[in-house]
Structure 1
């Protein structure tokens, strides 16, 4: 596991990390704009909260001076971490996690739009439920439909069907995929306690829990690092799906991103199953 620097003492602050590699500049700017709006809303109920944003440059970062200026005007301390090359998604977030010392930390994708009240509602939820260590939100797509990104433990068949078969064939596995995606319990209204696996596109942690976990396992370059971290989180705290916390996700699957992503997906899946146990069918 990664060796962490000596952490600062935990305060009531919030930190956010985004890892970027040749990002879609429009989506990244939308993410930062939505983050700024959510931080502004959060300050209405917590005017003295300290907020830090770490943007980890794994390569190809655009000029973000305008958006960083907007965040700075809201009192958000921004830092760009660069010069390390493309170390992967989890390892990139770990570079930021080494530096954090606040009470909460948000792992955020650069293709997420955060609802204006999302951070305020999430921190209120933490206050009301001190046993919760990780919150996953209601995640919608660009058409407003619910994305089922909470997961039960996968089988190889689940992953293959969901990731690589065309939709015309996937329909024959609809019942199986619905169970894997927890469609029987995930909805727009109900809190769901302890979903086994949650999406890495938005993971809001108590920092104390994240430090115990030593962040992401750097053996995953891309894919399955969130599966791994989710399962390990259950050893220390409760995980919750909180649908009042809302975000919009613009992401896509590995099969639609080309052969290099398929190879990375397969390599990470092998590491994941080797660690947690193989399930075939």
Structure 2
């Protein structure tokens, strides 16, 4: 086991404006933990390499190709010797205050049956992001992309995003967003890395589901991070097609209508967390 780092992180870059990932990098490095951050750049040029000079704890890896979100993170997830006891999959559009990482680290230390933990995530204006989700059905993923009726989308989202639950309490969630995955290294070694058959959108669903089979995957609202999230696939035709392709791949892998495990996992989550 690598005892050099308590926590490592990867940020996958792709033609980002430097000021956004710089905030994420500075947030991560603002800690007393022994850390290292890997900046995996899928961009066509290495213009973002200066981000690694912010601190000696940063390392820049230029891929010279864009093989996808999961593949970028796998550059480190496939190398246990580069990872700390815990590893954070971090989006470049996230920032947070000092102390967040320490509290999540201590939470994982106190709960060895937890494989992944997600804090409360808010928009820059402070509004809550509903990132605790059930395992998706075909309607959850594909239906809401192709049915533009607001009342239909609201009905799907209210259930899929577990809006029936109390987001101020801890929950063991089937699908936690991939924007901030605080992972236990030993669990990654056991269940595997991101499925690179998914270029983007859904690779987090797949990995969290594999972890959830054997460990708790927890939402922990005692700490908060800010996510400047934009639904790119709702605005960009290319990203929309990538989203559809990812949904089809995931459903082919796990099951469309006949997914008994999904049905049982979702039933338990609804029963456990429906607010009374």
Alignment of 1:1-281 (within 5 A): 9-11=1-3, 13-37=6-30, 39=31, 43=32, 49-59=33-43, 60-65=45-50, 67-72=51-56, 77-99=57-79, 100-160=82-142, 162-163=144-145, 169-187=149-167, 189-193=168-172, 195-279=173-257
1:101 to 1:29, Cα distance in 2 relative to 1, 3 A: closer
Question: 8 Å contact 1:148–1:182 — kept in the other structure?
Answer: yes
Contact 2:147 2:153 in 1 (8 A): no
- Post-superposition offset of 1:93: 0.3
3-state DSSP class of the match of 2:55?
A: helix
Q: 1:24 deviation in Å?
A: 2.6
Is the 8 Å Cα contact of residues 137 and 247 (structure 1) preserved in structure 2? yes
TM-align CA RMSD: 2.0
- 8 Å CA contact 1:20–1:61 kept in 2: the answer is no
Task: Give unpaired runs (5+ residues) of structure 2.
Answer: 259-276
Q: Separation in 2 of the partners of 1:232 and 1:265?
A: 20
Q: Take 1:112 and 1:80, find their aligned partners in 2: how far apart are those partners?
A: 18
* Maintained 8 Å contact 2:141/2:247: no
Q: Is the 8 A contact 2:158 2:164 kept in 1?
A: yes
1:193-212 Cα deviation digits (max 9, x unpaired): 2x110111000011000121
Q: Deviations over 1:240-263 (max 9, x none)?
A: 000113111112224334111111
Contact 2:144/2:152, CA 8 A, preserved across alignment: no
TM-score with structure 1 setting the length: 0.83
Instruction: Tell me how far apart the structure 2 counterparts of residues 163 and 150 of structure 1 sit (CA, whole Å).
Output: 19
In 1, the alpha carbon distance for the partners of 2:97 and 2:16 equals 21
Q: May I ask how many residue pairs the two structures share in their alignment?
A: 254
Alpha-carbon shift at residue 170 of structure 1 (Å): 1.9
Secondary structure at the aligned position of 2:47 is classed as coil
Normalization by structure 2: what TM-score? 0.85
d(CA) in 2 for partners of 1:201, 1:173: 22
The alignment partner of 2:169 has SS state of coil
